[in-house]
Structure 1
Amino acid sequence: MEAKCIIFGDTITATCSNMAQGCILSTGMNVMPIPSTAMSISGTLSTTNVIMANWSRNMWQTVVNRVVRAMASGALGLHFISAVATVS
């Protein structure tokens, strides 16, 4: 059975692992923490553009910092508690 989200205010706080039996927040019955896979997004960016391919890590970090700012100020910005992007 698929877990369902438990929402308090405007924030998803946990998941209910067994809707058939119900979830009780006060006792924690069938209440599970949000899985770490839902808490972060990772990926790989590659380019074939010769100029961009030779950018320094500093330059790429500047670009991903702009992406973080755009996410925070966009339509879903209120749904991010924090956002960090790191070039490795």
Structure 2
Amino acid sequence: MPTELTLDDLTTLLRECAGEDETVNLDGDVLDKTFTELNYDSLAVLQTTGKIEREYGLTIDEDAVNDAQTPRQYLAVVNAAFSDDRAASA
């Protein structure tokens, strides 16, 4: 089981959950672009979060997810959940 989510993991999940706008290159430097700039709305982010929670058995802070505006911020939230999960298992 992974111990963190990478940008590659996130872009793959976003594509699976919500598709991809062909005008946006998710393989480029997107860490600090807003989800709006990447043409993903809050529903797409919530769908992605649900899939991560199911696949990895995590509980992710919903308020923090709602506050995350960029992939960098979102990854910080998800990876904090991975860290919390590891700490609880120790």
Structure having the larger proportion of residues in helix? 2
The question of a shared fold, defined as TM-score above 0.5 by the shorter chain, is answered with no
TM-score normalised per structure 1: 0.29
TM-score normalised per structure 2: 0.28
When Rg is computed on C-alpha atoms for both structures, the one with the higher figure is: 1
